[in-house]
A and B are shown apart, each in its own frame.
Chain A
């Protein structure tokens, strides 16, 4: 009982620390710096403390101070309650979704079973989808409650876009579920020990479609028609300022992390190094680190592997975001319904055929 509690608290603290304490502030810096490097610029590097700038790493701190001291503005005629709730609706699902994503395998530590996942749900994927859909309510409610035409249009676009891409995303997942035969994310992760068992080799089309749909779901370029700076000022969060604005922002960044983690778990071997199973790792460390030490070392290696993959996919998403121009709105819809939906259906069909033949 007590060890279970301690384990849960440690895992929650770890995920919270990594997501909210590390990823969400650092991603703002990454976005600035990476876009700068990709465009042959220098990027933000002026915030300094006693003359030290550390390649602009103080900018998140400066941002935080600025945001905390900003006026929290609610426009005239806005629905005050919903306007206030919307950013929470947007941020909370992004935080919660990580609860069912495994960031390591299962270990035996001091006679206690450690499962590196906060909530090992047997419907993990569905849980994530449910909360991703909830997150879209934040955009819709925020756009509607702001009493602003830009926001309203942004909210409308967000709702239509997310509705259509949710469908394709769900269909893509069906392929993965068919291959692995489970909805439990930790089991899907545990099955991908061998390199050629990774989802990318079993479901290559599924991976491309899922990744694209996930970016579209997160409303980032090239699918950022919902915020579209050049058309809609800032889309659904035009009328937000201060902390509430940052909550939308953080929700977006955390969703990047969640998408990367999900893609890693389902298509890129989760916490596994290629060709190295958990047992081999433990056996390797057993030689010099003792029983529990070896487990801990293996655990650390697995967690680092997992987050290295996550960081890679974050980088990939940022690269795509700063490479491609925005789709026109009708193109987004056409891509979703006319291209991706048939491809996803064909993918399911072919997967089924292959499974049947095997």
Chain B
């Protein structure tokens, strides 16, 4: 079944379009065009003087530094480490993210606590190399690294300042809750 083959064929492209006499007179087409732009001008002018509240404003430009868009959970911003409630990282320093990172942006030095639990003694994420692919998040077995909605402050005068340490990357679980729920839906990880 599917779409019949005739419908998939492109419609005949009109070449050398013959203008009608009305169009060739040009002045009426100009008036039509000016009417359209005037309509936009007047609507926006009214919206400019009396800005309608809420979503239904005619100019949808976001006044960026003053206003910010709320990003959807699917947005892949800067990767951050998720912290437990007591402030320590969830990361167990398995090294999977370090391995899979296509840009080699992650460097982990693992250590063991006395309880036998592994943890990263140092976790360095070089944001000058990160390509925001999200593989680290996908591969992580502990939901310890997720792509946050942060997109600001990523321009620095010195590249060395873009090397984020573990402390700079830690975020509370609550702040990245949406994203964690979202990735549970899109990735099939064994432990969910």
Interface positions of A (Cβ within 8 A of B): 34, 37-42, 55, 208, 319-320, 322-324
Contacts and interface: CB of A to CB of B under 8 A. Distances in A.
B38 A319 contact: yes
B30 interface: yes
Given A40-B59, A41-B61, A324 B30 contact: yes
B37 interface: yes
Contact of A37 (B30, B33, B40, B60): B40
**Size class of the B contact interface (CB-based, 8 Å):** 10 to 19
Contacts of A323: 30, 33-34, 36-37
The 10 A-B pairs at the shortest CB distance, nearest first, are namely A37-B44, A323-B37, A42-B61, A38-B37, A38-B41, A323-B33, A37-B41, A323-B34, A38-B40, A40-B59
A320 B30 CA distance: 8
B61 A322 contact: no
A317 to B, nearest CB: 11
Contacts of A322: 37
Contacts of B59: 37, 40-42
Contacts of A319: 34, 37-38, 41
A38 B33 CA distance: 12
Interface of B: 27, 30, 33-34, 36-38, 40-41, 44-45, 48, 58-61, 63
A320 B38 CA distance: 10
A4 to B, nearest CB: 44
A34 B37 CA distance: 10
Contacts of B63: 42
A34 to B, nearest CB: 7
Contacts of A41: 59, 61
Given A40-B44, A41-B59, A323-B34, 19 more contacts: A34-B41, A37-B41, A37-B59, A38-B37, A38-B38, A38-B40, A40-B40, A40-B58, A40-B60, A40-B61, A41-B61, A42-B59, A42-B61, A319-B34, A319-B37, A319-B38, A320-B34, A322-B37, A323-B33
Contacts of B37: 38, 319, 322-323
A12 B27 CA distance: 38
A37 B38 CA distance: 9
A39 B40 contact: yes
Given A42-B61, A319-B41, A37 B48 contact: yes
Contacts of B33: 323-324
12 contacts: A37-B44, A37-B45, A38-B38, A40-B58, A41-B59, A41-B61, A42-B61, A319-B34, A319-B41, A320-B34, A323-B36, A324-B33
B48 A208 contact: no
A322 B45 CA distance: 16
Interface hub of B33, B34, B37 (most chain A Cβ within 10 A): B37
A96 B62 CA distance: 44
Contacts of A37: 40-41, 44-45, 48, 59
Nearest to A33: B48
A41 B30 CA distance: 22
Interface hub of A34, A40, A324 (most chain B Cβ within 10 A): A40
A319 B35 CA distance: 9
A324 B33 CA distance: 8
B4 to A, nearest CB: 39
A41 B47 CA distance: 12
A208 B26 CA distance: 12
Contacts of A42: 59, 61, 63
Interface hub of B27, B44, B58, B60 (most chain A Cβ within 10 A): B44
Nearest to A320: B34
